[in-house]
Structure 1
Amino acid sequence: MGRVLITTDYLRPNDDIDNLLKQHGHETTFAPFESKRDTTQQMSLLTGFDAAIIASEPITRDMLASAPSLKVLARSGVGYDSIDVQAASHYGVRVCNAPGSNHYSVAEMAIGLLIMSARHLANVTSAVRLGQWPRKAGHELHGATLGIIGYGPSGQATAKLGLALGMKVLVSTAHPSSSDREISFTDLDTVFKSADYLSLHSRASGTGPLVDEAKFELMKDSAIIINTARGSLINESALAAALSNGTIAGAALDVLDHEPMTDSSPLRGLENLIITSHLAGQTVEARLRAGMIAAQAVIDVLANRQPDHPVN
């Protein structure tokens, strides 16, 4: 039997994930991550546990050093930028994630944000609530160019939705697919220059933002950038400047470099920007898939079996 900490905020006692862990003889403790923990809470969070299922909560080297019994950290999602994976490896902790659990949800969100931006829906709905009746013309997506950076599961799903809408799809990826004949695979700068709508689906670069002032300068002044991947992919100060001075027409972000949005964020107050609260992967269906994959990783590692989706 192992002690399992669950901090993912949407997982609950006696849900399917909890019951699966209990069926395998494990004891669960819930400590939902709903806001920033103080230093004392953070340092003691993992202490005494054999496993943890986490969402995007930061897991630092010091936290891992304080948890000598910990054997596995299972992400109830795809990205693991918030985990010090090198430190986890140093302390013998397996890190696992849940790839493929939310790519349909992420793709649908990316296209939803794209449509909202193309038709000015955020500003229109806000104005109507205030008693106004705006009639600003938007743009059709049919015939427009959708640029996609990164071609993992969510990038592929987004490309298919773009094709279904009659868009021309350009992709920059290190792993082009010869079977996707309707899609044009090209270099990064060509995607930036050509896209009417640019959707990010890549991993964090590890060397700073992928999209900076120079990349915004490549884009059309009518272009809109969509980010449902990782906040660190975009230099937010450069984005704020590009939106303010008309270098690009708009942006829609589901992820930020610092979440929740800070009071000092340069993105506050920009009317040509849509921001949502890291919801792309948050559907009932995706949450269940991700939670079950994370629980299975815990079960496998604690039973000394190889997990399906190891990161380290």
Structure 2
Amino acid sequence: MSARILITTDYLRPGDTVDRLLRQHGLEPVYSPWRGPRDTEAQRSLFDGVAGAILASEPVTADMLARAHTLRVIARSGVGYDSIDVAAATGHGIRICNTPGVNHHAVAEMAIGLMIMAARNLRAVITSVNQGQWPRGAGRELHGATLGIIGYGPSGRATANLGAALGMTVLVSTAHPDSNGNAVQFTDLDTVIRDSDYLSLHTRGGQSAGKLIDASRLQAMKPTAVLINTARGSLVDEKALAKALSDGTIAGAALDVLESEPLPGDSPLRGLDNVLITSHLAGQTIEARTRAGLAAAHAVIDVLENREPAHPVDR
């Protein structure tokens, strides 16, 4: 009997390249697409009878892993893994892998696109034109503005390169400065937050007890600044951000990731004119999805065939 591989990533489907690859290695893909929170029983039974899993960004708790008796490996079809209880998985001997480097160009393009939308007030313009109006307000150029980047992994580096190509001054805060990064200036976190016209987040969540962007750091930003988050919803205190946007502490925000997804109906960010919210799409291009799905499948195959996976996050 073939080992069963659970796939919850909603863009992976029967008959695609990932499905065929798994079957070539004698595995049986089974599909349960994640489209939002599952009920308690669905969570508890999610891993029943499967040897491996390719997951979207849904939460994986210690309780779920405690009854995953046949599960040997979870591979995220993406970079983030803070939604998975890695310590609990390791305690049960379950390997955890991710797929870094597959979507950084997509994320960088999205970050710059959100900056352009904010700079030119495009959401309001498009809405007005659709309503029969013809607004002619002046926007701002990215050229000459200061782009601040927190985190200098693949997506942070790609965003920095695009910003520099547009003529922006690029400031970077990172624990791992690259001395060859001629297009950027490496500096401390407080300076990046204080001096940026556009502050773009590209770092991992869960590194400290508090939020990276809290009320005090929002207060330290320019009143004309725009916050861009394509990294982790857990990085930003959304209540503090909503207040800062309402009070004019900062000019705007563009968020592709949120603390709770989809955006709750009672979110304080709803109804604000100076925030753009997209549905966790930054890494979702056809090209990036293809790379991510295949990388996750190879991770599952490697573990089940007793090889060390390329990108383990549990060791």
State the TM-score, normalizing by the size of structure 2. 0.98
Residues 94-148 of structure 1 show CA distances to partners (whole Å, capped at 9, x for unaligned) of 0000000100000000000000000000111011111111111110111110000
Residues 241-296 of structure 1 show CA distances to partners (whole Å, capped at 9, x for unaligned) of 11011110000000000000111111010000000000000000000000000000
Q: SS at the partner of 1:174?
A: coil
Contact 2:36/2:261, CA 8 A, preserved across alignment:
no
Deviation for aligned residue 1:149: 0.3
CA distance in structure 2 between the aligned counterparts of 1:141 and 1:114, rounded to whole angstroms = 8
Q: SS at the partner of 1:170?
A: strand
Q: SS at the partner of 1:20?
A: helix
Which amino acid in the other structure matches residue 79 of structure 1? G
The equivalent residue for 1:7 is 8
Q: CA RMSD in A?
A: 0.7
Residues 186-234 of structure 1 show CA distances to partners (whole Å, capped at 9, x for unaligned) of 0000001100010000001242210011001111100001000000101
Q: Does 1:178 align with 2:172?
A: no
Q: SS at the partner of 2:58?
A: coil
CA distance in structure 1 between the aligned counterparts of 2:18 and 2:24, rounded to whole angstroms = 10
The equivalent residue for 1:44 is 45
Structure 2 gap segments, 5+ residues each? none
Contact 2:233/2:257, CA 8 A, preserved across alignment:
yes
Q: Which moved more, 1:206-215 or 1:251-260?
A: 206-215
Q: SS at the partner of 2:96?
A: strand
CA distance in structure 1 between the aligned counterparts of 2:232 and 2:37, rounded to whole angstroms = 19
Which amino acid in the other structure matches residue 72 of structure 2? K
The equivalent residue for 2:224 is 222
CA distance in structure 1 between the aligned counterparts of 2:263 and 2:159, rounded to whole angstroms = 26
Please list, as runs of the form range in 1=range in 2, the aligned pairs for 1:1-312 lying within 5 A after superposition.
1-204=2-205, 205-312=207-314
Contact 1:2/1:302, CA 8 A, preserved across alignment:
no
Q: Determine what percentage of the aligned residue pairs are the same residue.
A: 65
Residues 144-196 of structure 1 show CA distances to partners (whole Å, capped at 9, x for unaligned) of 10000000000000000000100000000000000012210000000011000
Q: Which moved more, 1:27-36 or 1:159-168?
A: 27-36
CA distance in structure 2 between the aligned counterparts of 1:232 and 1:60, rounded to whole angstroms = 17
Contact 1:213/1:239, CA 8 A, preserved across alignment:
yes
Contact 1:208/1:232, CA 8 A, preserved across alignment:
no
Residues 23-73 of structure 1 show CA distances to partners (whole Å, capped at 9, x for unaligned) of 000011011111221111110010111000001011111111111110000
Structure 1 gap segments, 5+ residues each? none
CA distance in structure 1 between the aligned counterparts of 2:93 and 2:208, rounded to whole angstroms = 23
Q: SS at the partner of 2:216?
A: helix
Q: SS at the partner of 1:248?
A: coil
CA distance in structure 2 between the aligned counterparts of 1:263 and 1:142, rounded to whole angstroms = 37
State the TM-score, normalizing by the size of structure 1. 0.99
Q: SS at the partner of 2:276?
A: strand
CA distance in structure 1 between the aligned counterparts of 2:313 and 2:153, rounded to whole angstroms = 16
How many equivalent pairs are there? 312
Which amino acid in the other structure matches residue 83 of structure 2? S
Q: SS at the partner of 2:125?
A: helix
Which amino acid in the other structure matches residue 183 of structure 1? V
